[in-house]
Structure 1
Amino acid sequence: MLFATTPPEAKRRALREALRSGRLLRFPGAFSPLVAMLIERLGFDGVYISGAVLSADLGLPDVGLTTLTEVAWRSRQIARVTGLPAIVDIDTGFGEVLNVARTVQELEEMGLAGCHLEDQVNPKRCGHLDHKALVPVEEMERKVRAAVQARRDPNFLIIARTDARGVEGLEAAIERARAYVAAGADMIFPEALQSEEEFAAFRKALPDVPLLANMTEFGKSPLLSAERLEALGYNLVIYPVTGLRLAMKAVEEGFRHLLEAGTQEALLDRMQTRKELYELLQYERYTVFDQNVYNFRLEETTSSSENQ
């Protein structure tokens, strides 16, 4: 209700402990607080907040147009409703070294458990597109150090993402990752690896460093199963755009039908019912504040003439 009962500090501790467990943690992308609540109900390990998804939700391409204020506020809305740890994409840090430091402190205040910072030149682009450009290693090292120095909670997770695989090659990406770890990064996110062998090579090169795998659809990386990623030694996997893609395709198909048929009657069995929505929202529990909030009875039905 209202806010999750688990405080942010406890979520961060739980994430750190889970990363030491040796099992793969699964973080689907949440494009809204309601989706984050569903992720928790289904039994996932955490919530991921994608910069690409937030941009798309605003009707913008993923080229660094979103601001710290927009990302931090949306992240806060998502993180507050779930007891799971939430990590967020901060692109290139919304500016230079000082901006990165402020970003980390803002996100801590907003209840996030961690963030990832990438080594692209701004304006950045999706990590699975061609013709990316990278900042010098030294510049990214300064940003990583600033992020580490700025956090107040030592359990706030600083993840360094490198996009070097598609620009400088696999070995250069590994060398950049080592430099970012030396600068203080807690975890490495090697973006757009192109084969299972490359995922394995990254783990072999950094045997003691937590690694994040990005299983985004329609990209350069093969869609490896959770079981395979765990066997390869990865610690955390994100599914950043899966929920948005599923939702938008369902909305598109539903609205096409509505336009053609003039009624949504035939779509009811594909919808979340009112009862299911209210259960997810924990609507009934709000009577602890006001007995008149939930003073009705919901019937599960597929008839358009009855309460849905």
Structure 2
Amino acid sequence: MGSIAAGKVVVVTGAGGGIGRDIAIAYARAGAKVVVNDIGVSLSGQGGTDGPAHAVVDEIIAAGGTAVPSTASVAGYESANQIVQTAIDHFGRIDIVVNNAGNLRDRLFHKMNEEEWRQVIDVHLHGSFFVSRAAAPYFREQESGAYVHMTSTSGLIGNFGQSNYSAAKLGIAALSKSIALDMARYNVRSNCIAPFAWSRMTSSIPAETPEEKARVEKLQKMETHKIAPMAVYLGSDAAAEVTGQIFGVRANEILLFSQPRPVRSVHMSDGWTPELIAQIAIPAMQGQFHKLERSPDVINWDPI
């Protein structure tokens, strides 16, 4: 067992498999006590069993670590509080929240229904807020704490058929920045990771055309355990000066993402009319327009 997170208590949501499981195990190896949270449903929301959370806890304990399971849902305010309460009840404190729980309901925007929209927003965006909010009083009182949220290039850049997921993931980036600003006075940090990895979530990506098959083949090279070191680092005291940032982890590659800032401005002393905007403002700014791109169009090199 390592020591970079020794003495810390961490809650990892969606930790029954994939990225979350690897993060939970990595924290335990780094010396942390772990609340392994997973509601135990399929990617599409079917079923529901405490098996995944308990299985990961058993694995951690067998390796000499310390962990307890939680099967409460992140998508409800009260149940999210139960997740954090599990840490308090068993370990007496909470130091780190890793908001990893997720689901997918992919559908083209003009075909997406209300349920598909709400289910993804509830788990990703509401869930990240609810669990983070539940930990906030403890972080504030002890004047320390760290949040690690999972965002996605589907929101940061764009993707087809994921308006619900993209909106939630970009919302999480904004939520993280707001937390970082609001809680800096209490020495609380908040950062995001955009993970690139083959997991339950990405396994639903279609692979029918030659292009789709080639993309999936590249994704399959990116293993979930590669995300864990950054998640552990961001929760540790070694990252004491790091907050409000968005990182990407792609196999052995770490990326730092830019955040929206003005790139061009135009001024008209007498004010603008719609006609003048069309004649002057837009032509002046058009060279800096962002192309209508998807994540694979922008991050289009092979993982290393």
TM-score by length of 1: 0.36
TM superposition score normalised by structure 2:
0.36
